[in-house]
Structures are given as structure tokens and as C-alpha cells.
A = this chain, B = another copy of it.
């Protein structure tokens, strides 16, 4: 963690209108000190570095003034952002005007369906409720640049789009842009606990909570909201899906005023606030003897609770629920299924437009490793497919991208494309639990892009995941994205400065799943580090190679789980092999991999539509990067390249560690070209990565050499 010496103290909320809310005896200490200076990384991709002189002059003309029409608070947010950005980019602060000036005005406007006097009516061009248009409009008195939407959020997204285009050199004077998000819900899940810890957080502590209190750092939260809105994110779940004792109380009068105040900040950026809830709340908070979803008392309790919550937060988003999963309570306790469990909550929220987001991460976490029939990969599918169509229309299932748990390589969950009549959110993990914990560079867009482009064949060829997401609204279903955030109270938000790219690319892909990882990396680097070619090309290329490098020196060919138990950092090949978590590689002296074929294995391959199912069924047609996920393969098996499996393991691990070292060299070459503090911070992490990649290489290679007895063809050092 890099903490700068310039500190500003923040306060904990424990008094004011809720003076007596806290049952805790502790006096909280100040927390969340943070430098916001250049080089600290705090501004992330919203630093708005000065444009080159020529370019700047050109844009001064574009926006000499800003005319924010109407009273929508988000339009005011947008106008302020635009003003700040232009001042920073061009050195010239636009004036705020009530009518567009003759030359060089930008007009921000929420359009309504009524004829506005302009013709043709521009609202027809705006894609959806959150879309925007950016175009030059001529009027009797002159021309201006119109950024408009059907909502304040649309206008705000339009402003961020304009600023992005300018910084990327992609803005054209004659532009006529109409853009909108592919899905309606684009959420972040905070795994923050009220004690200030973050489950699987690698960038410091929570910016929301500390020692059981809400941290009253409005500025930090608003800046987080800005970062989110700038990439189109519009929802946040404030607390961890594992809802502990204190967090259970977030939906009580004790804490709702504080949740409400946090929601107020996010609302200014078009972001709705959600909470993770404890399924046992009626018992723990309400004193009921049951949490059975079919119990009338329970139903009444939740209805009343919903009413209470919406009194405080009229646009409250809804509940995120991890139920009957990893020891969390849920409807199973009462012999009810997930649909019964979720629909009860949905009925309570329905009158207020709230949603229930129900996680599908349900499996037997007390499996016997000796049991080769049960397969955790099947669990989510088997638990939820039978309920397809049984969920209320304001319930969404939140499905992790793969069937296991955010490993560096997994197939796409067969629930996606399996469920036909159920709304769902695709869940990614931005925080790098299994992908290097923000000590290793691992730009995740390539992984996510493969998921989005995966053809489920649900409705024949072309039923890609992103197509399913885009098509869902037309079928009357909710749809969208959720991801576990990677930010904490480190000054640079994400620990590793380059991990900011993952937060960025998540938002951009959630908005437009058709974007390429290259395009997004390019956008992010230009906005964060500028467009100087050597810097731009180096960092972009480092990002784009990083996932493949990370994969190459860690668990090979989709096998996963070769990490140290609990914290999940660093190699331990057998760390989860004899565990109760359903996470096995089944390596012996002859071969490795889990047979998930229908014919001989756990049958998981059969959960997919054809032709995927058949392709996965056979080693010869299984995509090679998933070979060990689907099959138990002898070390002597020849891969398509002609290399034996064991030799591939050795080669990829030697190669991966070498490439990790190359990342250090490439970054060192940027010395003097980017801010020295940022350079030093990243360099330190890349150096740790390079050393740790050797640890991965040596542990993995030694493990398989010791087990197989087959030496490296190239005679390299294995221990």
C-alpha cells in the first residue's frame, strides 16, 4: 500500500441527526488519509491533463461557455464536470450561461417527448433512457454543440463521452454521435465490511466503513461516484455479500439515515444504491422465530421493512442476496427453493420498483474430496435450471462468468444461455483475488471479452453472451452486469496503478460489450498517461499481454485452484486438492485434469448447448486452454502443437516468468516519462511480480517434475 505523506483527515459519522445511533463503545480514529496530488494516482483517468497547445486552442473554441438547461441535478453535475475538465484540458474555464452564446457553446439538456421547437425532434435519436446524443445544432442565432439525453444521466454520460473522445483524439467537429448502454443495470458490488475490512480487497481498507462506523468522507465517495459514472456504471451495493452481525442492521432505522446520505452522493452521478441483506433478518432484527419465505409473518416483516427503507431512500435499488451459499442462511433451511426465497423479497420490494438480485454461487462447500461424482462445476446449473421461469419479474439471478469461482481460466457458466425465462446479471470479479491480487499486472478485459463473445448457441449460432444480454430487454427481462470492485482507501484507489484499467474496462464493457480490449486499453492509457507514443504504446502493450502472461506462469490449461488456501495468493498445487471446496486437479504420476465429460466424467460438458457440448466432450475438440478443466490428460499427451502436455507446462512456466521480467524492463524504460511517484509505485509491484512469477514457475514445474518423473526436454533448472 502506498500512503502519501500529505494527509487530510476524515471524520466518522456518529452524531448529528443520528446522535444516538451507535451501540458501540469504541471511539473511532481518523482513517482514510490520502494525497490527491499529481503522481498519487488519485485522479485516475479523470486527471484531464493539459492538451498540447495546438489541440487545446482548438477545443477552447468548442466550449467557451456551457449552457445547462433545465433543473435536473445530474445536468448540473455534468456541467460542473465539463467546466472542470475544459479548464484543465485547455487552460480556459468555460463560462456558465443561460442561453448559448454565438460561438463555442455546449448545451446540456434533458430532452422531453414534447416538441421542443427544434426540428427534427432530437429525442428520437437518443438510444434509450440512459443514452445520449452529441451533435452540432444550428439555430437562428448560430451553432452550438448539443449533449442531450432522455435523462440527466444520459447527459452526464454524454459529457464524459465527449471528454474521452477529445483526450483520445477521436472527436470530430462534425460529429454526430448517438450512443446508449447495452444493458440497464451496470453495477459494482463492494465486498466492504463495517469494520473497515474488505473481503478480497487489495487496495487498503473501505472508503465507506471503519470500526463499525460510516466514514464521513463525502469527497472520496463522490470521487468514486465520478469514476463510476465516467464509465457508465449506475448501481452500487455498499456492503459485502457475506452479511455479518453489524451489517445485518444496515436496514434498520439506526443505519438507514447514513445509507441514505451515501445514496444521496451516488444519486448525483446517476448511481442507485443497493444493500446486501441477511436472509435471517426477520429473526435477527425482527425477533421472529423463522425466516421461512412462505410464512406470512416473515412476508409482512419484509413488506414493512421495504416501506421503511423507501421512506429513507425513495429510489433505493434493492437487495443483493447470497443465500444458502458458503454457510449463509437461506430458504433451504425451511425446505423452500431459491425462487420461493427470492420471490418473497421481490414482492416486498415490488411496490417501490426495487429489485432482488439473487446470487447463483450455490454449491456444496463441504464436499468430500474422495467423491468423484459430485462436481462443483455442475452446482449452479443444477440448482437453478429447474427454476427457470419461476422467478418474479423483479428478480435477477447474478451468475459468475464461470462455473467455479473467478479462476484465471474457466469455461463460461452454462447457466448463461441455459436460462431462457429468467433475468440475470453477469458477474465479473474486478478485484484480483485469483489473478495476482493487484500485485501482479493482469488486465482483465481480454478474459471478459472472451466471455462476452462466447456463443452459447441458446437460439442457434450467434447467441453470444453479449447478444443474450442485449436481447433480454426486448423479452421483458432485466439484464446487466455486476462486478466486485477492486478499490479501497489507497490513494490510487486500486493499489496497483495499472489495476485502475480493470475498473475502467469493466464499466466500458458493461456499457458496450462490443468494445475490444485493445480499444479500451487505448482509451484508458491516453486518459491516464497521455498520448506520447512511446508511453502509450508501452503501457497499452503491457496491459494487453498481461493476462496471457499471468495465465502462463500460474495454473495451466484451465485447471485452476493451485493457490494457497484462504488468502489465495501464490502457488500451492495441492492447496485445494484434499479440501472440502470441490476444487480438485486429480494429478497423479500419470496425468492431470478433471474428467467432466458425459461419457466418462461428471457430465458437466453436457450442460451446454450443442455444438459446445460435443466439443467439450472430447479432448481432441476441446479448446486447448480448457483441456484440463474438462479432461484428465496423460503428461505424455501431445497438444496440437506437437508438444507433450508436461513439456507444455514446463515451457509455459519458463516463458511466463521470463515475460514477467520483461514487464519490469519495459516499465523501467518509461523512467522520466511518467510521474516519478507513480513510476516507482508500479515498478515495485512489477518487481514483486517478476520474483513471484519465478516462485510460481518453480513450484509448478517442480511439483509436476517430481510427480511425473519426466525431465524438461530443454534441461532447464527444475527443483
Measured CA separation A25–B28 after assembly (Å): 11
A651 nearest CB across to chain B (Å): 20
* A 573-602 binary contact with B (CB < 8 Å = 1; else 0): 111001000000001111000000000000
Taking the nearest CB of chain B, how far is it from the CB of A191, in angstroms? 22
Q: Name A706's closest neighbour in chain B (CB-CB).
A: B588
Residue in chain B with minimal CB distance to A574: B574
Q: A706 near B587 (CB under 8 angstroms)?
A: yes
Whole-angstrom CA separation of A111 from B626 in the bound complex: 84
* Alpha-carbon separation in the docked complex, A572 to B574 (Å): 8
CB neighbours of A574 from chain B (8 A): 572-575, 703
Nearest CB in chain B to that of A26: its residue: B25
The listed residue with most B CB atoms (<10 A of its CB), out of A698, A703, A707, is: A707
Interfacial residues of chain A within 586-639, with CB under 8 A of chain B in the complex: 587-590
For A707, what are the chain B residues with a Cβ–Cβ distance below 8 Å?
588-589, 706-707
Query: How many angstroms from the CA of A698 to the CA of B372 in the assembled complex?
Result: 14
Residue A463 interfacial (CB < 8 Å)? no
Query: Are A698 and B370 neighbours in the complex by a CB distance under 8 Å?
Result: yes
Q: Which residue of B lies closest to A586 (CB)?
A: B706
Cβ of A286 under 8 Å from chain B: no
Q: Is the CB of B589 within 8 A of A702?
A: no
Complex CA–CA separation, A699 to B369 (angstroms)? 9
* Inter-subunit contact A578/B589 (CB<8 Å): no
Query: Is A27 at the interface (CB under 8 A from chain B)?
Result: yes
Q: Which residues of B contact A705 (CB under 8 A)?
A: 588
Q: Quick one: closest B residue to A371, CB to CB? A: B719
- Is A589 touching B25 in the complex (CB atoms < 8 A)? no
- Residue of B27, B575, B589, B709 touching A706 (CB-CB under 8 A): B589
- The CA of A565 and the CA of B565, in the complex, are separated in Å by 9
Taking a contact as CB atoms under 8 Å apart, the answer to whether B573 and A709 are in contact is: no
Interface positions of A from 686 to 719, Cβ below 8 Å from B: 698-699, 702-703, 705-709, 719
Instruction: Confirm or deny: A402 has a beta carbon within 8 angstroms of a beta carbon on chain B.
Output: no
A571 located at the interface, meaning its Cβ lies under 8 Å from any Cβ of chain B in the complex: yes
A26 partner residues in chain B, CB cutoff 8 A: 25-26
Contact A719-B572, Cβ < 8 Å, known A25-B25, A588-B709, A706-B589: no
A578-B702 Cα distance, complex, nearest whole Å: 9
Q: List 12 A-B contacts (CB under 8 A).
A: A25-B27, A370-B698, A574-B574, A578-B699, A578-B703, A587-B706, A588-B705, A588-B707, A589-B706, A589-B707, A589-B708, A589-B709
